[in-house]
Structure 1
Amino acid sequence: MTRKNLSLKKYRQAEAVKLSLGKPFFESEGIAIYQGDSLELGSNLPHSVFDALISDPPYCSGAAGTAVGADPSKKYCHSGNTLGRPSFGGDFRDQRSFKYWCSLWIGQALRACKETAYGLVFTDWRQLSTMIDALQAGGFCFKGLISWNKGRGARAPHKGFFRHQCEYIPWGTKGAVPRLTDRGPFDGCYSIPVLQKDKHHMTGKPTELMQRLVQCVPKGGIALDPFCGSGTTLVASALEGRQAIGFEASEEYCEIAARRIEAAKRGELMKYERPVAV
Structure 2
Amino acid sequence: MARKQSNRRKNKQYEAAKKNLGKPFFESKEIAIYQGDTLELSSKLPANAIDALITDPPYCSGAAGCAVMADPSKKYCQSGKTLGRPSFGGDFRDQRSFKYWCSLWISQAFNACKDSAYCLVFIDWRQLATMIDAIQAGGFCYKGLISWDKGGSARAPHKGYFRHQCEFIPWGTKGIVPRLTDRGPFAGSYSIGVKQTDKHHMTGKPTPLMQKLVQCVPSGGLAFDPFCGSGTTLVASVLEGRYAIGFEASEQYCEIAARRIEAAQRGELLKFQKQ
What TM-score do the two structures reach when normalised by structure 2? 0.97
Q: Are 2:74 and 1:68 aligned?
A: no
Look up the match of 2:264.
Answer: 264
Are the counterparts in 1 of residues 7 and 241 from structure 2 also a CA contact under 8 Å?
Answer: no
CA distance in 2, matches of 1:261, 1:269: 9
RMSD: 1.1
**Paired AA for residue 41 in structure 2:** L
* Alpha-carbon distance, 1:5 to partner: 4.1
Q: Are 2:234 and 1:234 aligned?
A: yes
- Structure 1: tracts of 5 or more residues without a match: none
CA distance in 2, matches of 1:51, 1:14: 10
CA distance in 1, matches of 2:29, 2:242: 10
Look up the match of 1:50.
Answer: 50
CA distance in 2, matches of 1:14, 1:226: 15
CA distance in 1, matches of 2:42, 2:55: 13
SS at match of 1:105: helix
Look up the match of 1:165.
Answer: 165
Aligned with 1:6 (options 4, 8, 15)? 8
SS at match of 1:158: coil
The sequence identity of aligned pairs, in percent, is: 78
Look up the match of 1:146.
Answer: 146
CA distance in 2, matches of 1:230, 1:148: 19
Are the counterparts in 1 of residues 7 and 219 from structure 2 also a CA contact under 8 Å?
Answer: no
CA distance in 1, matches of 2:62, 2:8: 44
Q: How many residues align?
A: 271
* Alpha-carbon distance, 1:66 to partner: 1.0
Look up the match of 1:17.
Answer: 17
Look up the match of 1:103.
Answer: 103
Alpha-carbon displacement from aligned partner over 1:155-198 (angstroms, at most 9, x marks no partner):
10000000000000000000000000000000000000000000
CA distance in 2, matches of 1:18, 1:212: 26
* Alpha-carbon distance, 1:35 to partner: 0.1
Look up the match of 1:135.
Answer: 135
**Paired AA for residue 129 in structure 1:** A
Look up the match of 1:190.
Answer: 190
Q: Say if 1:22 and 1:136 are closer, same or farther in 2 by CA, change over 3 A.
A: same
